[in-house]
Amino acid sequence: GAYSLRPEKGLPVKLNIAAGPRSLDDVQIALDTFWAGHERVPANVRIEVSIAAGEIAANILEHGHASGLQMEIELHSHEVLVEFTDCGNPAEVDLFAVQMPDEAAESGRGLPLAQAALRLLAYFRDELGNHWRLVSKAFPSSGRPPADG
């Protein structure tokens, strides 16, 4: 499980997470392991990615009725990529139409929160199941701001 993960400097973190009461803890452990091996990711990006990944994983497990999910975290030059794959029910969601519900609503905040925390949130389904791609907001790759382009 997640408890055998060791941070490997510069390498992606991959983890299979079974559905259960500790699933979201395992998502956070995977992220913490990744951050330990990628210290140059700024704190604000870590927080935003952690919020978004937790919301998407919760949606997969709660609404998709998946028996588990695969999580992969990678660092590109100036952004963090998180991908979830699961074999649950198709997600019936239009990411272009997602809006924050009114204050009285008891649910429906997960996707808007995730979108606000990320540069990109994408979903597709193929023969392998559901795929969620989360891309962080850009951050400097070497102490300099990313070049516009």
Strand order through the sheet with 13-18: 13-18, 68-76, 79-86, 129-135, 120-126
Q: What is the pLDDT of residue 65?
A: 86
Q: What is the pLDDT of residue 110?
A: 67
CB 56 within 8 A of CB 134: yes
Integer Cα distance of 50 and 42 in angstroms: 12
Tokens encoding 55: 């919301």
Q: What is the pLDDT of residue 145?
A: 46
Tokens encoding 140: 């400097």
The one-digit pLDDT tens for each residue of the chain (149 residues) are 444 566 677 789 999 999 999 999 999 999 999 999 999 999 999 999 999 999 999 989 888 888 999 999 999 989 999 999 999 998 877 666 666 556 665 555 568 788 889 999 999 999 999 999 999 999 987 654 444 54
Integer Cα distance of 10 and 40 in angstroms: 10
Say which amino acid occupies 76.
H
* 24-63 b/e (C-beta count within 10 Å ≥ 16 → b): bebbebbbebbbebbeebeeebbebbbbbbbbbbebbbee
Q: What is the pLDDT of residue 52?
A: 95
